[in-house]
Amino acid sequence: MSTPPTNGNGSSSTSKPSNPLKRVDLDGHDLPPSPAPSSPRNGRRRYALATELVYTESKDQYGASSVPIYQSATFKQSTAQGGQSEYDYTRSGNPTRTHLERHLAKIMNANRALAVGSGMGALDVVSRLLRPGDEVITGDDLYGGTHRLLTYLATNMGIVVKHVDTTDAEGVRSHITEKTAMVLLETPTNPLIKIVDIQTIARAAHEANPKAIVVVDNTMLSPMLLNPLDIGADVVYESGTKYLSGHHDIMAGVLAVNDTELGNKLFFMINSTGCGLTPNDCFLLMRGVKTLAIRMEKQQANAQAIAEFLESHGFRVRYPGLKSHPQYDLHWSMARGAGAVLSFETGDPAVSARIVEAARLWGISVSFGCVNSLISMPCQMSHASIDSKTRAERQMPEDIIRLCVGIEDADDLIDDLSRALVQAGAVTVTLDGFHATGAAEEVGKAPLTE
């Protein structure tokens, strides 16, 4: 039976050069051919990122400016032995997917990128590197789906998961042992918008245990604003459903690495399980990526205006674009922008629920990264899989409202939010305007702390 390829730290006694066009299992059997590594043909980025997002190279025989959809499950071979062509079966590789992956590798500053069916599917692929007894160190403010998968691994697969405050780099280091196989990070965290020092933690993790891999979920910022591989991460993954696609019309996940053997292991998992992204979704994701820069520019501008509006009216706002954020300097030392997700508090879950339900332009929905603006109460929706006791231990306010800002007119979004605040009774209206009242006012007076 075939087993995943291993590197020098694995148990395999064989040592064969990596050849992306030829796969041999540990018994010496040839595996079906796979696509060439998904790397840019001419090296790393040559132009500004906004240009590279749009500029693509293709070998299409007809010179199509938009990559064709190769909606084929199989590809013909020229002899009975097979293996003469770059592709044989779409589960193992497809020209549309390869085009997308090469493009993603370029914009993610990676040597290889891989596309799968969802962001959680990407994390699932990474988690298959783990073995019973391995330790995972991760944050105490995580996306609910990530927490759910890690809980399953801890409960059923013998994986030891340690939730720590990843804003404390030295604290993370103190938890690393020889059993630590993975350090899993998010920044900004979701929904508390805490900032994690990727570079310091990655350096500490690699010094404490060279075998540990540092994995970063970069969904909140996208390659437009941060390239974690450049500052020490070993694996970066994103939900392509969010900013990369931008329209919430597909599900997709993306993985990116620089290490060849690590990329081969991840590809093995994808090929074995059949979770590679479908040709049609690859086409749609490629189309969405081209507008990432212009979308993110507008979404960030809107988010900044809304964050300043809420803060100026007395609410406690969590957004790294505000100088009141306690980790403002740390964020800007890594990132090229503040993103378009923010959260604020009212001090009362009932008031928050009224605000959410009173909004009109803001759609009540989980997820983020879409061109239209969304509003939600994470503790009731995206993070509901984290039990209330654990949420309380991690100081996640039940009243917190998350705003995922789109590309609409900023004034319209602010006017709609103003009306919702008034209708919900979250503000006191005077001749001079309005200001947070009651519990919201008290919470607003207490600054965020590191």
Q: Where are the alpha helices (DSSP H) in 59-193?
A: 95-107, 119-127, 144-156, 169-175
Longest dimension (CA), the chain: 84
Active site residue 46: no
Strands 160-164 and 135-139: parallel
Residue 330: which H helix or E strand, with range?
helix 328-334
Which of 197, 217, 348, 416 is an active site residue?
A: 217
- Residue 3 sits at φ, ψ, to 5 deg, of -130, 160
Q: Under a CB-based contact definition with an 8 Å cutoff, are residues 447 and 318 in contact?
A: no
Number of H helices, E strands in the chain: 15, 16
Task: Please state, in angstroms and rounded to a whole number, the distance separating the CA atoms of residues 377 and 362.
Answer: 13
CA dist 409 and 343 (Å) reads 19
CA atoms of 29 and 24, how far apart (whole Å): 5
- On whether the CB atoms of residues 362 and 373 are closer than 8 A, the answer is yes
Binning the chain into helix, strand and coil, the percentages to the nearest 5 are 35, 15, 50
143, 237, 243, 319: the catalytic one is 143
Task: Give the separation between CA 368 and CA 374, rounded to whole angstroms.
Answer: 7
Q: Is 128 marked active-site?
A: no
416 catalytically annotated: no
The helix/strand/coil state of 404 is strand
Distance from C-alpha of 389 to C-alpha of 102, rounded to nearest angstrom: 44
What is the per-residue DSSP string for 267-295?
HHHHHHHT-BPPHHHHHHHHHHHTTHHHH
| Residue 143 annotated as catalytic | yes
What the block records as the tokens of 160 is 């030891």
Alpha-carbon distance 326 to 204, whole Å? 23
Which residues make beta-bridge pairs with 337? none
| 56/229 Cα distance (integer angstroms) | 22
CA–CA distance, 191 with 383 (Å, rounded to integer): 9
Q: Residue with structure tokens 């409960």? A: 155
DSSP strand pairing (213-217 vs 235-239): parallel
Q: Which residues is 89 bridged to in the sheet?
A: 74
Contact between residue 24 and residue 30 where contact means Cβ atoms under 8 Å apart:
yes
Catalytic residue among 45, 91, 287, 419: 91
Residue among 97, 112, 242, 295 flagged as catalytic: 242
Instruction: Give the residue numbers annotated as catalytic, written as ranges.
Output: 91, 143, 217, 242
